[in-house]
Amino acid sequence: MILQPSSSGASSLLGRFRNEVILLGVRNGVNDTFTTPDIFIQTTNLKIKIYWNGRKLSINDDYTVSESGGLGTGYDTITFLYPKKPTATSKLEAEYWKA
């Protein structure tokens, strides 16, 4: 499902939706931290969605999001929660609104 911005914020979000974005990071069954190529918006209404081999995961149950550069630098990091550790054959994709 594609999120639609409210009419009041629609013009500022035009052209910023990204889908089927491949997460960046080593898939070796040990690494649990991945990044997106863009800083993404993470608010109450607009949240990143992560798909593992086509299955949508749940934030705070399957993964968390954070700002790799520290508070206020922008969300760009996904950390999978134990015991989830992507392997070489794992397909990790995201959809989000680019900041």
Architecture of domain 16-97: Sandwich (2.60)
- Per-residue confidence band for 6, with pLDDT thresholds at 50, 70 and 90: very low
- The gap between the terminal CA atoms of the chain, to the nearest Å, is 19
pLDDT reading at 14 higher than 60? yes
Please provide the size of the chain in residues: 99
Enumerate the domain spans of the chain: 16-97
Q: What angle do CA 46, 47, 53 make, to 5 degrees?
A: 140
Query: Can you spell out the DSSP letters for 27-65?
Result: -SSS--EEEEEEEE--SSS---EEEETTEEP-BTTTEEE
pLDDT reading at 11 higher than 80? no
Between 22 and 8, name the one with better pLDDT. Answer: 22
Q: What is the pTM of this model?
A: 0.85
